[in-house]
Structure 1
Amino acid sequence: MKTPAAHLIPSRAPKRAHFDAETIYPILDEALLCTISCVIDNRPFSIPTAFVRYEDKIYLHGSVGSHFIREIEKGIPVCIVVTLTDALVVAKSAFSYSMNYRSVIIFAQAEKIELPAEKVKALEWLTNKVVPNSWNYLRLVTESEMRKTTVLAFNLEEASAKVRTGMPNDEPEDKQLRIWSGIIPLQTQRMAPVADQFSQHIPLPKHLNL
C-alpha cells in the first residue's frame, strides 16, 4: 500500500486511521448519508445527501437545477464525510467523555455520468441501497425524470477511515473513583413500514417485510 498523503492523516489520534479498502468500504456500505462540502465563490457549503458505493467509486444524485450540483459537477475539489456512531463513551470525568465511531473522509472531484444507461444503473444501486431489492418493484424511471437528474461519481483513491472502539480512556488517577464508567451502545434500526393513505389496502411487498 502506498504511503497516504499528508492531508489524509489525522492530526489527533493518528493510530486510529486506516487507509485500506477492507476498513473503508464496509463503512461506506453501511452509511446511508454523506456530507459533501466545498467552497463556492469564497463561501463554504455543505450538503447532506444519500450515496452508494460501487467498486472504487461512490455515486450521488441531485437536481439539474441545483446550484450546488451545477458547481461541483465542474470538478472543483470537494471533501466528503461519512460517520457512523456506535456508542457513547461515558468516562469518570467530562474531559474523557468520547464516542465510539467509524468515519471516512474522501477528497475528490466529481465525474459527471453522461451515458443514460450508466445513470440508470447508478440510480438502481442507490435505490437498492436505501431500500434493498426495491428497484424492480417500482415503475420505470422516465426520460423526463432522467433529464432532470444529475448523477456524479467520486473516486475513492484519496480516502481514509478513522475508528474508535473500546472503553473510556480515563486518567490513571481517576480509575479507582466510585464513578460509573463504560459505554452506552447506539443502534440505527429499520422499523416496521407504515403505509400512506393510498396504500392502506395494498399488500406489503416481500422486500419490505423486515
Structure 2
Amino acid sequence: MSDTPAYTRNARTTPTRYRERATWEREEIHAILDAAWVCHLGFVADGAPVVLPTIFARVGDRLYVHGSTGSRPMRGASGGQGMPVCVTVTHVDGLVLTKSAFNHSVNFRSVVAHGTAEQVTDPAELAVALDALVDHVVPGRSAGTRRANPKELAKTAVLRLVLDEVSAKTRADGADDDEADLGLPYWAGVVPVAPAYGTPVPHESTTVPLPENLRALTS
C-alpha cells in the first residue's frame, strides 16, 4: 500500500462538472468504499457496454470484486490479459428539495475507479480476498462460518483491481434556490437518508445465540 496521501490526478479521474466537489485523497476515498457493500462493475463485452452490480471489498489499495467463474467479467479477465473496467460506488445521504423543480438534487458520496482488472488465481490471495468479502458485509463473519470447499471454490471467482486511477465526488449542501424563488409558498430543505439494520431473524436450524459481531452491528 502506498504511503502517499492522495491518488494521482489525471484527465480520466477529473470530473467535467463541479470539479470543486472532487477529491483524490486516499483516506476519504477509502472511507467511502468501506462504507458500501455494492459496487457497479462496468466493462465492454462483445462490443457493447455492460454494468453489473456485485459485492466487493477493499484490502489496502486493492479492490476485490466477487463473481462466478462462468460470468462475462471473469471470462474477460482470465488468461492473464486482464480487462479494462470502471468500478463505481455511490451513497445517497439526502434528498435536496428546492422550491423549483429544476434545482432539486441529492447529497451523495461516490467513487469512480478505472483500471485493468485481473482474476485472482493465487490460492493464498484468493483466501484473503474471500475472507475480506465476507467480513466487509459483517465484520468478523468469516471466522463464524464454514470456509468454501474445493467444489464451491471451483465455482467462485474474484477480480482484483489495483486502485490507481480513482477519485471521489461528494455533495453535502443544503437546498440552493434561485433568489427569485425564495418567496414561493413551497417547502424546501433536505431529507436525510441513511441505511438501517433491522432485528436479526434466525433460521429455524439455528441453535446458537446471536454472535457478538451481529449484536454490535445491529444494536
Query: What's the TM-score once normalised by structure 2's chain length?
Result: 0.90
Partner of 1:16: 21
2:204 & 2:167 partners in 1: Cα distance? 44
Q: Deviations over 1:178-209 (max 9, x none)?
A: 3221100001112111122322x442222221
Alignment partner of 2:125 out of 101, 118, 122: 118
Q: Deviations over 1:30-89 (max 9, x none)?
A: 010000011111111111000001111110121112233211344221111100000000
Partner of 2:3: none
Partner of 2:97: 90
CA-based RMSD of the aligned residues comes to: 1.6
Q: Which moved more, 1:34-43 or 1:140-149?
A: 140-149
2:137 & 2:184 partners in 1: Cα distance? 45
1:79 & 1:134 partners in 2: Cα distance? 28
The number of equivalent residue pairs is: 209
| Counterpart code for 2:155 | K
Partner of 2:41: 36
Gaps in structure 2 of 5+ consecutive residues: 1-5
Q: Is the 8 A contact 1:72 1:78 kept in 2?
A: no
Percent of pairs with identical residues: 39
1:167: Cα distance to partner? 0.4
1:141: Cα distance to partner? 2.0
| Counterpart code for 2:77 | I
- Residue 147 in 1 paired to residue 154 in 2? yes
Q: Deviations over 1:2-34 (max 9, x none)?
A: 762112111111111111112211000001000
Q: Which moved more, 1:120-129 or 1:64-73?
A: 64-73
Partner of 2:172: 165
Secondary structure at the aligned position of 1:58 is classed as strand
Gaps in structure 1 of 5+ consecutive residues: none
Q: Is the 8 A contact 2:57 2:65 kept in 1?
A: yes
Q: Is the 8 A contact 1:61 1:151 kept in 2?
A: yes
Query: What's the TM-score once normalised by structure 1's chain length?
Result: 0.93
